[in-house]
Amino acid sequence: METKQYTYPDVFRADCLSRQVLDLIADEWTSLVIYALEGGTMRFGQLLKRIDGISKKMLTQTLRAMERNGLVRRVVYPVVPPVVEYSLTPLGQTLLEPMNALKIWAYGHLPEVAQARGTYDQRDKAPLQEQVASLVRQREM
């Protein structure tokens, strides 16, 4: 069987590194860590307090993946107890501009998204409400 060799990135191919990189930065927790570290170096506990809703396990996994992919620098100071600090690497800092553009878009379109959700949710509830009303009418007969 002949294997086709690709010489260019293609995010639609499952085996393409570009998809893996996109998956990494599209992750909810990764983006929040990037936003949190935008202001500078932070310790694990500071990140945990800053990012509401993230568990210790998820923060650990996210930081490890980001470090593995060159986005975060982890520095351990040999003191008791150990002090560990995290900061964005130069590569990680290149994500600040596009990630902030997404954040600005999200903030700027909150009302439209909320309205769309409300419309969608009401559309789905209408048939159910009609069925309930029909059952109530049948019982009243």
Q: Which tens digits make up the pLDDT trace of 64-114?
A: 999 999 999 999 999 999 899 999 999 999 999 999 999 999 999 999 999
Alpha helices in 5-109 (DSSP H): 17-26, 28-37, 44-50, 56-68, 90-93, 96-108
d(CA 17, CA 77): 33
Do 119 and 81 lie in a common domain?
Answer: no
d(CA 46, CA 33): 11
Do 133 and 74 lie in a common domain?
Answer: no
Query: Structure pTM?
Result: 0.77
Residue 73 tokens, joined: 């620098």
d(CA 20, CA 22): 5
Distances (CA, A) of 39 to 50, 88, 107, 140: 12, 10, 19, 64
Do 58 and 121 lie in a common domain?
Answer: no
Higher pLDDT, 3 or 24: 24
Do 72 and 122 lie in a common domain?
Answer: no
d(CA 9, CA 18): 6
**Number of folded domains that form the chain:** 2
Higher pLDDT, 46 or 17: 46
pLDDT at 60 over 90: yes
Q: Which domain range does residue 96 map to?
A: 1-108
pLDDT of residue 80: 92
